[in-house]
Amino acid sequence: MRTTPKSNGDLRKAMAASKPLAPGHYDAEIREAHETVSKRGNPTVALRLGISDGKGGEREEPDWLTDSSFAAAAAKLRSICEAVGALDRYEAGEVSAEDFVGRRVRVLLEIERKRGYPDRNRVVSYSAADTRVVNLRSSG
């Protein structure tokens, strides 16, 4: 068997990254987006997010967008369209993966717990990335 040697520090870092982030808001970048079909046969946009952990680290998480009759899924789709400036396309009835890829957003994460599976993060909603400029000098 071939091995990939890792230091104890690398292993501790990998183990910490496997634990879910605490519930809350985090900066993220939409790294990938592609259109697919869900297990239930619904049109879906699959996303790959790079989420900042707020401590200088980052992790990748998946998310899926569907135009669903479920209120939570519908609210999440609308929130991301608003966050990336595609609300007009959403309201016109047509969004695509290209509307999302490469965009910076804020995500609201919660911890999803399922019996028999490890806890994991789940994206609840999106908001626009904080782009405010803070003046560090006082003019005077």
DSSP 117: S
Could you state, in order of their start, the residue ranges of all structural domains in the chain?
A: 21-128
The per-residue pLDDT for range 106-124, each reduced to its tens digit, is: 999 999 999 999 999 999 9
Backbone angles phi, psi at 17, to 5 degrees: -70, -20
Third-level CATH fold of 21-128: OB fold (Dihydrolipoamide Acetyltransferase, E2P) (2.40.50)
Mind listing the pLDDT tens digit for each residue in 33-84?
999 998 888 899 999 999 998 888 899 999 999 988 889 999 999 999 999 9
pLDDT digits (tens, 9 = 90+) for 70-84: 899 999 999 999 999
